[in-house]
Amino acid sequence: MPLHPQARDHVARYPSDLGIDPATLDLERIREMRATDGLAVHRGPLVRLPSVRDENAEGVPIRVYRADRGDGPLPVLVYFHGGGWVFGSVRRSDAVGRDLAVRTGAVVVSVGYRLAPEHPFPAAADDAWTVVRDVFARPAFYQCDGSVAVIGDSAGGNLAAVAAWRARDAGLALAHQALVYPVLDVAMDTPSYAEFATGFGLDAREMAWFAAQYAPHADPADPRLSPLRLPSVEGLPPATIVTAGCDVLRDEGERYGARLAAAGVPVEVRRFDGAVHSFFGLPGLFDQAGQARAFLARRLRADLGLDASDREAS
């Protein structure tokens, strides 16, 4: 599959996501890399919103965004950032949190889950579930009307998928799960892992390193780590899955979509041809980021009961 011209230009400058041999990274260097963001200028504008507040959900830091000036109840969209469970933060994902609030019209809750290697598996998954559970438990605090959805990209897509099945098992009905090039199986044995192993942004060696930082002693088949291994996907919430055509994670996302469809779960999978991993978070570099966000916002608004086409950003 040929690279999109913008993706080709990007990987010419950044052939790997980390830009460094992961074997050389100790904790001190990881923390230094967390403190900087060389791509910040490409993450989109920090749209001014009427309400942005930093709170916590049972001790988990969150940032809550609201794009309208009212105070009545709205649906809530819980967002989990990417970064391989090692990098990323509420601060670094501030632009996408604001953008999602504008596009969907929902209250957006961005989750500052604990990071590895300091906090290994299942810390991030537990934090994700804590926040989703708290939204259901304290709807007035979140100005929630009872309709809740989850969204995440990459490792955040993994956390969103895990939170979705945990909500199902707890009897909490999510309206939707939106998964953007999610990590769904740490077996890493799909054809896309072989085809895009190196030179396409996130490479196979880096992904193996991320998994080793997060879950060095976990069973790879544990569905809290590999949701694709979940024994049953029946009864999961409706789903939208976005994949990048030139990404090691492409096949597991599409396999998950096929499995959901076979179980009768409403699902739409859209592959962005020629795209590389991370495109969704960098609208300043990739036109496909805006296209993917608009697509996801339409899907989310429909299942959240928001008739707000005038809210969608261009």
Res 312: pLDDT: 42
**Cβ–Cβ < 8 Å for 277, 244:** yes
The yes-or-no verdict on residue 309 having pLDDT over 50 is: no
The catalytic position among 4, 10, 81, 277 is 277
pLDDT bracket for residue 307 (50, 70, 90): confident
247 is catalytic: yes
Given strand 239-246, what is the order of strands in its sheet? 51-57, 60-66, 107-111, 74-80, 144-153, 176-180, 239-246, 267-276
Residues 256-286 have pLDDT tens digits of 999 999 999 999 999 999 999 999 999 999 9
Give the pairing of strands 267-276 and 239-246: parallel
* Nearest C-alpha neighbor of 65 from the set 104, 129, 111, 110: 110
Q: What is the mean pLDDT of the chain?
A: 96
The catalytic position among 93, 110, 154, 278 is 154
Model-level pTM?
0.96
The yes-or-no verdict on residue 54 having pLDDT over 90 is: yes
Residues 154-203 have pLDDT tens digits of 999 999 999 999 999 999 999 999 999 999 999 999 999 999 999 999 99
278 is catalytic: no
Residues 125-144 have pLDDT tens digits of 999 999 999 999 999 999 99
71 is catalytic: no
Residues 202-249 have pLDDT tens digits of 999 999 999 999 999 999 999 999 999 999 999 999 999 999 999 999
